[in-house]
Structure 1
Amino acid sequence: MRRATRRRLLTVGLVFALSFALGGALLVYFAPFWLIERVTDAYLFKTGVHHREVLVDGHRIHYLEAAPQQHGAEDKPVVLVHGLGARASDWAALIPALARHGYHVYALDLLGYGRSDKPFHGDASLSTEERIVSGFIDTLHLKQPDVGGWSMGGWIAAKLALDEPAKVRRLLLFDSAGVYMTIDFPISLFSPSNQAEFDQLVDRIEPNRHYVRVPSFAIPGLLRNFERGKWFVDSSLSSMLDGREILDFRLHRLKMPVLIVWGTEDKLTPLADGERMHSMVPQSVLVELRGCGHLAIAECASTGIPSVVHFLDAEPPSPASVTVMPAPKR
Structure 2
Amino acid sequence: MTTAILVVVAVVVVVAALAAFLLWRDPYALIRAEFARERMALGLARRVVDIDGIRWAYAEGEARDADAPVLVMVHGFTGSKENWYPVARRLRGRYRLLIPDLPGWGESQREGVTDHGFAAQAARVAAFIRATCDRQVVVLGHSMGGGIAAVLAAREPGLVARVGLFDAAGVRFADNQFGLDVLAGSNPFGVHDRASLAAYFDILFHDRGALPAMPWPAPAILIARRRRDSAFEQAVLDDIGRGPEQFLPGEEAARIRQPALLAWGAHDRVIDPSAMDLYAAKMPQARKVLLDGSGHMTVMEQPDDIADAIERLLAAAPVEQGAHA
- Answer whether TM exceeds 0.5 for this pair: yes
| Displacement after TM superposition at 1:259 (Å) | 0.5
Instruction: Indicate the residue corresponding to 2:197 in structure 1.
Output: 198
| Displacement after TM superposition at 1:156 (Å) | 0.5
Instruction: Indicate the residue corresponding to 1:47 in structure 2.
Output: 42
Equivalent residues of 1:69, 1:99 under 8 A apart: no
Q: Deviations over 1:28-73 (max 9, x none)?
A: x996643333223223223221111111121111111111034xx4
User: Structure 2 vs 1, CA of residues 139 and 204 (structure 1 numbering), >3 Å: closer, same or farther?
Assistant: same
1:172 paired with 2:134, answer no
Instruction: Indicate the residue corresponding to 2:239 in structure 1.
Output: 239
Tell me how far apart the structure 1 counterparts of residues 25 and 195 of structure 2 sit (CA, whole Å): 19
Tell me how far apart the structure 2 counterparts of residues 211 and 155 of structure 1 sit (CA, whole Å): 24
Instruction: Indicate the residue corresponding to 1:66 in structure 2.
Output: 61
User: Structure 2 vs 1, CA of residues 193 and 184 (structure 1 numbering), >3 Å: closer, same or farther?
Assistant: same
Tell me how far apart the structure 1 counterparts of residues 250 and 109 of structure 2 sit (CA, whole Å): 32
Count residues with an aligned counterpart. 309
Equivalent residues of 2:259, 2:317 under 8 A apart: no
Which one has the largest radius of gyration? 1
Tell me how far apart the structure 1 counterparts of residues 113 and 154 of structure 2 sit (CA, whole Å): 28
Equivalent residues of 1:48, 1:96 under 8 A apart: no
Helix, strand or coil: the match of 1:293? coil
**Normalised TM-score (structure 1):** 0.82
Instruction: Indicate the residue corresponding to 1:290 in structure 2.
Output: 292
| Displacement after TM superposition at 1:239 (Å) | 1.1
Equivalent residues of 2:56, 2:101 under 8 A apart: yes
1:123 paired with 2:115, answer yes
Tell me how far apart the structure 1 counterparts of residues 91 and 315 of structure 2 sit (CA, whole Å): 11
User: Which amino acid counterpart does residue 243 of structure 2 have in structure 1?
Assistant: D
Tell me how far apart the structure 1 counterparts of residues 289 and 169 of structure 2 sit (CA, whole Å): 16
Tell me how far apart the structure 2 counterparts of residues 238 and 78 of structure 1 sit (CA, whole Å): 29
Helix, strand or coil: the match of 1:100? coil
Helix, strand or coil: the match of 1:114? coil
Instruction: Indicate the residue corresponding to 1:106 in structure 2.
Output: 98
Helix, strand or coil: the match of 2:257? coil
Instruction: Indicate the residue corresponding to 1:327 in structure 2.
Output: none
User: Structure 2 vs 1, CA of residues 191 and 216 (structure 1 numbering), >3 Å: closer, same or farther?
Assistant: farther
Instruction: Indicate the residue corresponding to 1:262 in structure 2.
Output: 264
Q: Deviations over 1:87-117 (max 9, x none)?
A: 112111222432332x111111111111111
| Displacement after TM superposition at 1:238 (Å) | 0.7
Equivalent residues of 2:61, 2:93 under 8 A apart: no
| Displacement after TM superposition at 1:275 (Å) | 2.7
User: Structure 2 vs 1, CA of residues 76 and 234 (structure 1 numbering), >3 Å: closer, same or farther?
Assistant: same
Q: Deviations over 1:228-268 (max 9, x none)?
A: 33343223211112143413343222111111111111111
User: Which amino acid counterpart does residue 211 of structure 1 have in structure 2?
Assistant: L
Instruction: Indicate the residue corresponding to 1:158 in structure 2.
Output: 150
1:88 paired with 2:81, answer yes
Equivalent residues of 1:49, 1:96 under 8 A apart: no
Tell me how far apart the structure 2 counterparts of residues 129 and 173 of structure 1 sit (CA, whole Å): 16
Show structure 1 runs of 5+ residues with no match.
319-330
Tell me how far apart the structure 2 counterparts of residues 32 and 297 of structure 1 sit (CA, whole Å): 27
Percent identity, aligned pairs only, is 28
Tell me how far apart the structure 2 counterparts of residues 304 and 227 of structure 1 sit (CA, whole Å): 32
User: Which amino acid counterpart does residue 223 of structure 2 have in structure 1?
Assistant: L
Instruction: Indicate the residue corresponding to 1:307 in structure 2.
Output: 309
Equivalent residues of 2:259, 2:319 under 8 A apart: yes
Equivalent residues of 2:259, 2:316 under 8 A apart: no
User: Could you tell me which of 17, 33, 41 is aligned with 1:38?
Assistant: 33
**Normalised TM-score (structure 2):** 0.83
Instruction: Indicate the residue corresponding to 1:322 in structure 2.
Output: none
Equivalent residues of 2:165, 2:263 under 8 A apart: yes
Equivalent residues of 2:265, 2:291 under 8 A apart: yes
CA RMSD of aligned residues (A): 3.2
| Displacement after TM superposition at 1:217 (Å) | 5.3
Tell me how far apart the structure 1 counterparts of residues 38 and 109 of structure 2 sit (CA, whole Å): 24
| Displacement after TM superposition at 1:135 (Å) | 0.9
User: Structure 2 vs 1, CA of residues 228 and 272 (structure 1 numbering), >3 Å: closer, same or farther?
Assistant: same
Instruction: Indicate the residue corresponding to 2:323 in structure 1.
Output: none
Instruction: Indicate the residue corresponding to 1:224 in structure 2.
Output: 224
Show structure 2 runs of 5+ residues with no match.
321-325
| Displacement after TM superposition at 1:175 (Å) | 1.0
